[in-house]
Amino acid sequence: MLCREGQPELIEIIVEPHGGIRGRCSQCQQPAPGYDRLPERRWSFVPLWGIPVDFRYAPRRVQCPEHGVVVERIPWSDGKRPMTYAMMGFLARWARRLSWRETAQVFQTSWESVYRSVEWFVQWGLAHRELWGVESIGVDEIHWGHGLRADNFLTVIYQIDAHCRRLLWVGKRRSEVTLRRGLKALGPEVVKGLRFVCSDMWKPYLNVIAAEAGQALHVLDRFHITTHLNQAVDQVRRAESSRLRAASPSKAERLKHMRWPLLRRGSRVRGRARQKLDALLASKMATARAWDLKETFFHFWQYKSVLWAGAFLDYWCYRAMRSRLEPMKKVARMLRAHEELLFNWFRAKGEISSGAVEGLNNKIRVVTRRSYGFRTYDAMEIALYHTLGRLPEPESTHKFC
Ligand SMILES: [Zn+2]
């Protein structure tokens, strides 16, 4: 143990090769005659009692009949990294509970070491995960970082089966190329086995899903439709608010602080917000009419038969088209254009959960926004797989968390 001013600073474990056991070739793992020894190296091991621990060892080189002179296999490390497997697994497990920066601080190592550990952990998990039994996937786009450039969007593919919900794939951008790349990464067997695909009405996705997974029932997700309706209500509110501020300030007052009450499900608005909302709804303002259309659409999801749902959709679109509210008309036209995919929601009823995509989406946002200090896209991608991929983990004799 190394100490400074009476405080333990580092525990060093000096490892020596067993005299009677030959080193193994790092390529083929077969014992081979010794050749020479390399200079001593260090590997960090799991800290004990909060004190960093290092392995010190001078690796042997062996002369393998097949691979020539190579470094021996080192059981605690892959030879490339200055960390033991145990330490990488240790940091990676903690990095799921703490931010990467916190993990580095708590265990007296660098952010980079935490990153490399998680990367190794995730790569192992991706290489060993099972993809059989994937029947339902959700495809979605996620915005991250600042700005609206193409690179600020990610395409994600989730598994949304009842028995397993996880992130399957993530890639930059939200183009046809991206999604094709994602489906290719999952492999033809997975794509052929799909029964349900859930997505938004984003054109590139619709095209690729139709072309690649034509056998699956393609469902427009309820969560996305609700989002479109909410955005339309909000556009109406903003436009009306700025119109009224000039013409009638007292009326404009009614729209103040109403964004969230308007966007929530009506039945969930309570208290003072409820009173304000009721007053607004009695006013016959454009925002009130938009809100009413949004709330009415909720009934659509309650139908059991496609036929009745279709009749309701006709009725709703008719009302929306006559509302003189351009954002609501736009939603109506969009729904009309994708009617068949919308009805698939009823055909798939009971088979896919409407909340699955939304739930995973929210979790992704927690990761992309959390202050992990991701400096690069690659680091974030790894963090996403790490927290949401439900990946298998390398075996470890050490369990610390
Ligand atoms: Zn060999």
Mean pLDDT in residue range 339-368: 84
- Cα of 106 to ligand 1 centre, how many Å? 40
Q: Residue 135's pLDDT is what? A: 94
Between the CA of 113 and the centroid of ligand 1 the distance, in Å, is: 30
Q: Which residue has the higher pLDDT, 354 or 80?
A: 80
Return the pLDDT at 182: 96
Could you tell me the two tokens for 134?
A: 């994937």
Report how far ligand 1's centroid is from the alpha carbon of 66 (Å): 5
Contact criterion met (CB below 8 Å) for 3 and 9: yes
**Per-residue pLDDT at 259:** 83
CA–CA distances in Å: residue 313 to residues 123, 305, 308, 316:
47, 12, 9, 5
Which residue shows structure tokens 């193994």? 24
Cβ contacts of 367-371, under 8 Å, gap ≥ 24: 368/142, 368/144, 370/99, 371/99, 371/101
Tell whether the model's pLDDT for residue 143 goes beyond 60. Answer: yes
How far from the centroid of its chain's Cα atoms is residue 176's Cα?
A: 19
Global pTM value: 0.84
SS3 string, 99-150, reads CHHHHHHHCCCCHHHHHHHHHHHHHHHHHHCCCCCCCEEEEEEEECCCCCCH
CA of 127 to the centre of ligand 1 (A): 23
Does 14 score more than 90 pLDDT? yes
Please give the distance, rounded to the nearest whole angstrom, from the Cα atom of residue 59 to the centre of ligand 1. Answer: 16
Output the CA 29–ligand 1 centroid distance in Å.
6
Region 377-393: mean pLDDT is 92
- Ligand 1 centroid to Cα of residue 20, in Å, is 19
Rounded distance from Cα 72 to ligand 1 centre (Å): 9
Centre of ligand 1 from the C-alpha of residue 73, in Å: 10
Please give the residue that has the higher pLDDT: either 148 or 58.
58
Q: Separation of 76 CA from ligand 1 center, angstroms?
A: 19
CA of 44 to the centre of ligand 1 (A): 27
Asked whether 216 and 318 are in contact (CB, 8 A), the reply is: no
- Whole-number average pLDDT of the chain: 89
Report the separation in Å between the CA atom of 362 and the middle of ligand 1, taken as the mean of its atom positions: 49
What spacing in Å lies between the alpha carbon of 397 and ligand 1's midpoint?
27
Of residues 397 and 208, more confidence is placed in: 208
CA of 185 to the centre of ligand 1 (A): 32
Q: Give the relative orientation of helices 339-347 and 306-321 as an angle to the nearest 10 degrees.
A: 140
What token pair was written down for 289?
């009419």
Q: How confident is the model at residue 23 (pLDDT cuts 50, 70, 90)?
A: very high
Q: Over the stretch 221-254, which tens digit does the pLDDT of each residue have? A: 888 899 999 999 999 999 998 888 888 887 777 7
Sequence-ordered alpha helix ranges (H) in 248-355:
249-253, 259-263, 271-281, 286-297, 306-321, 326-337, 339-347
117-138 average pLDDT score = 94
What pLDDT was estimated at residue 398? 66
Cα 23 to averaged position of ligand 1 atoms, centre (Å) = 11
pLDDT value of residue 347? 87
Predicted pLDDT at 246? 82
Residue 69 CA, ligand 1 centroid: distance in Å:
9
- Mean pLDDT of all residues in 23-38: 92
pLDDT of residue 390: 95
What percent of the chain lies above the pLDDT cut of 70? 97
Ligand 1: distance of its center to the CA of 56 in Å? 24
Integer Rg of the chain from CA:
29
Q: Beta strand pairing status for 34-37 and 217-220? A: unpaired
Most confident of 69-73, 254-258, 349-353: 69-73
Task: Tell me how many degrees the CA angle 162-165-168 measures, rounded to the nearest 5.
Answer: 135
- Cα(27) to centroid(ligand 1), Å: 5
Residue 271 has pLDDT above 90, yes or no: no
- For residue 123, CA distances in Å to 168, 174, 257, 341 come to 13, 24, 47, 36
Beta carbons within 8 Å of 107's beta carbon, 6+ residues apart: 47, 90, 91, 94
Asked if the model's pLDDT at residue 371 lies above 60, the reply is: no
Q: Which residue has the higher pLDDT, 366 or 44?
A: 44
Q: Is 329 exposed, middle or buried (0-12, 13-18, 19+ CB in 10 A)?
A: middle
**Confidence class for position 370, pLDDT limits 50, 70, 90:** low
Q: What integer is the mean pLDDT of 37-64?
A: 93
pLDDT per position as a tens digit, 56-114:
999 999 999 999 999 999 999 987 889 999 999 999 999 988 888 899 999 989 999 99
pLDDT > 60? residue 149: yes
The alpha carbon of 32 and the centre of ligand 1 are apart by a number of angstroms equal to 8
Q: Is the pLDDT of residue 191 over 90?
A: yes
pLDDT confidence of residue 399: 65
Taking the centre of ligand 1 as the mean of its atom positions, its distance from the CA of residue 256, in whole angstroms, is 74
pLDDT given for residue 208 in this prediction: 94
Distance 24 CA to ligand 1 centre (A): 8
Task: Sort strands 136-143 and 153-161 into parallel, antiparallel or unpaired.
Answer: antiparallel
Q: What are phi and psi of 368, to 5 degrees?
A: -70, -25
The secondary element (H helix, E strand) that includes residue 42 is strand 41-48
Q: Measured in angstroms, how far is the CA atom of residue 31 from the centroid of ligand 1?
A: 8
The model's confidence at residue 267, banded by pLDDT at 50, 70 and 90, is: confident
| Band of residue 401 on the pLDDT scale cut at 50, 70, 90 | low
The CA distance from 262 to 287, in Å, is 9
Q: How far, in Å, from the CA of 22 to the mean position of ligand 1?
A: 13
pLDDT at 256 over 90: no
pLDDT digits (tens, 9 = 90+) for 288-315: 999 999 999 999 988 988 999 999 999 9
Confidence (pLDDT) at 186:
95
Please answer whether residues 290 and 330 qualify as being in contact, where contact means their C-beta atoms are separated by less than 8 angstroms.
no
pLDDT at 315: 96
* Cα dihedral sign, 210-211-212-216: positive
